[in-house]
Structure 1
């Protein structure tokens, strides 16, 4: 395996040269939408197959019959794994009105219990962000969302000192029109919205340009599956956290990319179906 470290200004040129090389038959990328646009356009010009696994703004839907404590505990893990720096992290928490207060209280308590520190220490649960611009983006999303009417429930500021640390943050009363809801939040920021009923939950879950993962929490799995069928996403988990599994195909829809990784579907992405016809 060869790893190339490329200067930002050279990414487009190097990407094009790699993809256009005749020795390369297809390309797969896990990365940002900006990187996906570069790789996808280069693959298109070269008429080569591509699989793009890009950003996400996954909905975590809590229905009125859900086990609130279990959903809240799972939600903290789903959002803040790897300090929230994962495309499959839950980003938008859409909660039924009758359980919204209880869920929010349990969720915020779980977030406030997270230990921020050196990622080399075993007890650390929240480490730094990868780059300073990612931290600045989270700060902007928090400030602009609060200015648009969101409530800051905990966190909301960078952690002083070495490293690009940011407080685990929760915003309440969010919805479409706020950066924390509309954009991918690549860091320790959770946005909670209230869905008036199942119809409204579907509307809010679909109110995103992304379509990677979905998690629905309910006492009735069949109800969860029925609701999931109405929400656009590449994967849908009921009473479980979104995760990749080598036995199952994984990938997104809309701006979250195209094609599938893993399992038989992932293998087929890098094969060509060939037709044989033998005459009499």
Structure 2
């Protein structure tokens, strides 16, 4: 499980898995080992038998070998992973080799599509929240902002102004809206993606550099003139960087939205709900949200398509991932 929501990411699979009669071996991210241990202790305090959920504390150089042995073990029935495409590809291959079920949630580059009849003020306000929540460190953060030509200038003006107004600071302070990134290597990778995008023709509208202060800080950044072939459009940017692209009409916006290896979530904005749904039906994603930002909610299934993974978490669909259908 990943570090970005270290309790929620575990609970969303652990609760239905345990409730359907399974036990769990948890390998959490190494920078949130304290959360892993706390979850294990919490379940015991709640009355679950000891070791029904067991945290595996494994030195990083040994993770690949241990994972392979675990997945191959006949006592292991299935595997679920939330993380990078590299890790997901490896775990999925091991599960396939062992003929075992897997649920893979591998991140995304969600499209935030604004049609020409949208409420620009509402859409731009939501766009800032959709991109910069958790300092942009979320698979369901909107990352590609695809705007109809006729409203692109006004949307961009408002989006940039609202991005510049974000409060960057101590994440424990109540008024802070942007905190640091989790690790220095992730900040450096994000900056490299921005620099590559600028070299490829993107335009820097605000931000674009690390912040010179102790910790792994990066300026809230907006890039314009992106599209297929630009790194910030093609890759997942796991931090506070937004990529704007424009298109002439609905058909072109659909083409842009589908021009991605990822297919997790979609947020689409229009004053005509039927039109928004019609456009959403033509875009491949695990979920579509109309006039609101993409979010995970225990009441609705969560998961992706294409390189964003397969299988579902949450809701009835997620509970059934932890079971086999049996016919009597």
Q: Establish whether TM, by shorter chain, passes 0.5.
A: yes
Render the CA deviation track for 1:204-258: whole Å, top value 9, x for unaligned: 0000000000000000011010000000000000101000111111100000000
1:15 corresponds to: 67
**1:270 Cα deviation (Å)?**
1.6
2:241 corresponds to: 189
SS at match of 1:10: helix
Distance 1:5 1:187, change over 3 A: farther
**CA RMSD after TM alignment:** 1.1
Show structure 2 runs of 5+ residues with no match.
Answer: 1-39, 41-53
What TM-score do you get using the length of structure 2 for normalisation? 0.82
What TM-score do you get using the length of structure 1 for normalisation? 0.96
Q: Does 1:159 align with 2:159?
A: no
Cα contact 1:15–1:38 (8 A) shared by 2: no
Q: Does 1:215 align with 2:253?
A: no
CA distance in 1, matches of 2:57, 2:238: 22
Match of 1:60 among 105, 112, 121: 112
> In the TM superposition, what are the counterparts of 1:138-177 in structure 2 within 5 Å?
138-177=190-229
**1:31 Cα deviation (Å)?**
1.1
1:50 corresponds to: 102
> In the TM superposition, what are the counterparts of 1:60-209 in structure 2 within 5 Å?
60-209=112-261
Show structure 1 runs of 5+ residues with no match.
Answer: none
**1:41 Cα deviation (Å)?**
1.6
> In the TM superposition, what are the counterparts of 1:241-260 in structure 2 within 5 Å?
241-260=293-312
Cα contact 1:214–1:235 (8 A) shared by 2: yes
Post-superposition, which runs of at least 4 consecutive aligned residues in structure 1 deviate over 6 A? none
CA distance in 2, matches of 1:109, 1:217: 20
**Relative contact order higher in (CA < 8 Å, ≥ 6 apart):** 1
Q: How many residues align?
A: 276
2:87 corresponds to: 35
